[in-house]
Amino acid sequence: MASPLPAVHDTPDPDFAELLARRPQLKAHALDGLLMDEVPLVQIARAVGTPSWVYSAATLRRRYGALRDALAEAGLDASIHFAAKANDSLAVLRVLAAEGAGADVVSEGELRAARAAGIPAGRIVFSGVGKSHREIALALEEGILQINAESAEEVERISEVASAIGRVAPVSLRINPDVDARTHAKISTGLAENKFGIAYTDAAALYARMASLPGIRPIGLAVHIGSQITEGMAGYRAAYSRVAELAQALIGRGLPVERLDCGGGLGIPYRDEVPPSPAALAGAIKATLGPLGLPVMLEPGRWIAGPAGVLLASVVLQKRGQNRRFVVLDAAMNDLVRPAMYDAWHGILPLAPDLLHAPLSPADVVGPVCESGDTFTRGRALPDLPPGALVAFLDAGAYGATMSSTYNARPLAAEVLVDGHRWAVTRPRQTHEALLANQVMPEWLGAGA
């Protein structure tokens, strides 16, 4: 059986100074310790408690802007639709909405969140392999920009639902290009063996069928090959080339193709990865899809939000194992599941100024959940971390809070937005009362003790 513990790397971990150097939103202040933008994180941890997610509005704006500029500099007519699954905090979505971002949503809940945050329906794309009748109807009633259909069965369903409510659905076909994005198996989506998209060889016939169905207006093609793509542009280029070829063939047959959705997936450096830059992605889009002269769309999640967030946690206790030091935190796999689920590596920095310069020794950092998989990292060089010491998990702004659960009856952590020197709680910590509140006891079980 595979080990449930995080992977062991063969290159040395980046040290605290290296982690900080690559993250302009974080600074070590001699007196206040770790700052996010202008706010000492210790101040937030003391006021709000831990575990807590903290997001930097300035970082969200900066990264959204960098992506938009890279696309514009490549001469592309491009729109950015933030993948709400990465972070569906209404405050985060509102910051991005104010910059002009649209959203990529995959459920009724995400559609509602995007709308509640002020993202216009006309900038929302609905993706996902299993949209229900209700979700399709809601999307059409809202008047969203497009639905990305993932199967022939879904195309028929969209036609039925749209016809029944007297709407015409703008539909893009998501192609499965069968290319290897060279990312973690659990987040690869563009291989024939993955459940996503329509087989490339079936796509042209289905597109033609869409044009003949009532309630459907075919508007283009979409592709998304995977997430946390760090190993070059080859996968992207191969996928976009296939989309270009198919779009050309469809146009040649007189079918309407208005725009192309290039998906998301651009990776970020969690440890020492060197992912392709936005300029490289823009260049690959330009080189492959540019000749078609169509508007393009992007659905990034992680690249925009990942580096914008941290998860703050407190040390519950340090425990000496037989030959290991365990740092037991009040955050656990129910909060940040990425290490348990994908062997993901997240930087961990102490918040107090003295701890940023104290002697280091190896530690396993774990949560209190009753599973060995509740291990954030093994053998990490960290200072002595007494009970009450505060730490931050870095790059936790994407697939952090959105993937958390209440496993072990642990309330959902608080969320905080930092904007320059200001900060506010944007989602209070779930209370224990709220955790139990929506359960209903069958009356035949009696009143209890």
Q: Quick check: 329 and 319 in contact, CB under 8 A?
A: no
Strand pairing report for 422-427 and 414-419: antiparallel
Binding mask 84-113 for ligand LLP (x = CB under 6 A): --x-----------------x---------
150 or 419: whose CB is closer to ligand LLP?
150
Task: Based on the shown chain and the rule CB under 6 A, indicate whether residue 66 belongs to the binding site for ligand LLP.
Answer: no
Query: Smallest distance, Å, CB 381 to ligand LLP?
Result: 24
The type of residue at 20 is L
Q: Quick check: 113 and 106 in contact, CB under 8 A?
A: no
| Alpha carbon distance 123, 297 (integer Å) | 10
> Which listed residue (30, 31, 370, 449) is catalytic?
370
Beta-bridged to residue 188, according to DSSP, are 226
Q: Which of 264, 276, 383, 397 binds ligand LLP (CB under 6 A)?
A: 264
69 or 354: whose CB is closer to ligand LLP?
69
Contacts of 360 (CB under 8 A, 6+ apart): 381, 382, 383
Strand pairing report for 390-393 and 309-320: antiparallel
Binding mask 344-383 for ligand LLP (x = CB under 6 A): ----------------------------------------
Q: What is each CA distance from 357 to 46, 379, 393, in whole angstroms?
A: 21, 18, 18
Strand pairing report for 309-320 and 52-56: antiparallel
Q: Which of 63, 131, 224, 346 binds ligand LLP (CB under 6 A)?
A: 224
Q: Closest Cα to residue 350, out of 49, 6, 9, 20? A: 20
Q: Is 262 a catalytic residue?
A: no
Task: Based on the shown chain and the rule CB under 6 A, indicate whether residue 228 belongs to the binding site for ligand LLP.
Answer: yes
Provide the 8-state DSSP code for 324. Answer: -
Q: Quick check: 169 and 140 in contact, CB under 8 A?
A: yes
Dihedral Cα 355, 359, 364, 369, nearest 10 deg: -20
200 or 342: whose CB is closer to ligand LLP?
342
Q: Which of 25, 89, 107, 127 binds ligand LLP (CB under 6 A)?
A: 127
Binding mask 300-339 for ligand LLP (x = CB under 6 A): xxxx----------------------------------x-
Query: Smallest distance, Å, CB 377 to ligand LLP?
Result: 16
Binding residues: 265, 299-302, 338, 342, 371, 399
Query: Smallest distance, Å, CB 239 to ligand LLP?
Result: 12
Binding residues for pyridoxal 5'-phosphate: 265, 299-302, 399
Query: Smallest distance, Å, CB 289 to ligand LLP?
Result: 17
| Alpha carbon distance 146, 160 (integer Å) | 16
Q: Which of 187, 208, 255, 292 binds ligand LLP (CB under 6 A)?
A: 187
**What number of CA atoms fall less than 13 Å from residue 228's CA on the CB side?**
21
Contacting positions for ligand LLP (CB under 6 A): 83, 86, 104, 127, 187, 189, 224, 227-228, 263-266, 299-303, 338, 342, 398-399, 403
| Active site positions, annotated | 370
